[in-house]
Amino acid sequence: MSRMHSGGKGRSGSSKPGVSEAPVWSDTDKKDVEDLIVRLAGEGHSTAMIGTILRDQHAVPDARLVTGERISQTLSRNGITNRYPEDMMNLMRRALGLIDHLAGNSKDLHNRRQLELCESKIRRLARYYKETGRLDDDWVYKQDQLRLMVE
């Protein structure tokens, strides 16, 4: 598959090993891991950060192998959900940073293009999340209301 916003093709990066159960040396008590996930979410950590903390500080290499579900599914089952999906919120934060940068640097054409590409990704994700029911059907990305959505 080719890259989205460049002329290059190819795919680089590592992938997780294909294992179906947690290693014996890891903390594999399902209840403890779920309690940790809920506690870390209560402290305000994102799902990606929760996974990193579980891996680095609690010897849980993959929470999905222990609990049988993704971290976001565990949180939603426990009633902890965000208004917007995490990947979309990260893109909106990035767009807000680019908008703030362009307010002081109006001739920065490279970052103006990056803002256009970022907003394009937000709109594509919004279309997907509307189809899957995670966003309201009447939700529209508006640059002037972005600060209210992110904060």
Residue 15 lies in a domain: no
pLDDT in tens, the chain (151 residues): 356 777 666 677 778 788 888 888 887 788 999 999 999 999 989 999 999 999 999 988 889 999 999 999 999 999 888 888 899 999 999 999 999 999 999 999 999 999 999 999 999 999 999 999 999 999 999 999 888 888 7
Expressed as residue numbers, the domain containing 42 is: 30-77
| Pairwise CA distance, residues 11 & 143, whole Å | 32
Q: Does residue 90 share a domain with residue 146?
A: yes
**Total tally of structural domains belonging to the chain:** 2
The pLDDT score that the predictor gives to residue 1 is 39
102-116 pLDDT, tens per residue?
999 999 999 999 999
**For residues 104 and 111, is the Cβ–Cβ distance under 8 A?**
no
Q: Does residue 145 share a domain with residue 93?
A: yes
Domain boundary among 77, 108, 135: 77
Residue 2 lies in a domain: no
Q: Does residue 56 share a domain with residue 95?
A: no
The pLDDT score that the predictor gives to residue 28 is 75
Residue 18 lies in a domain: no
The pLDDT score that the predictor gives to residue 8 is 67
User: In 7-150, which ranges are continuous DSSP H helix?
Assistant: 30-42, 47-58, 63-67, 71-77, 86-104, 109-132, 146-150
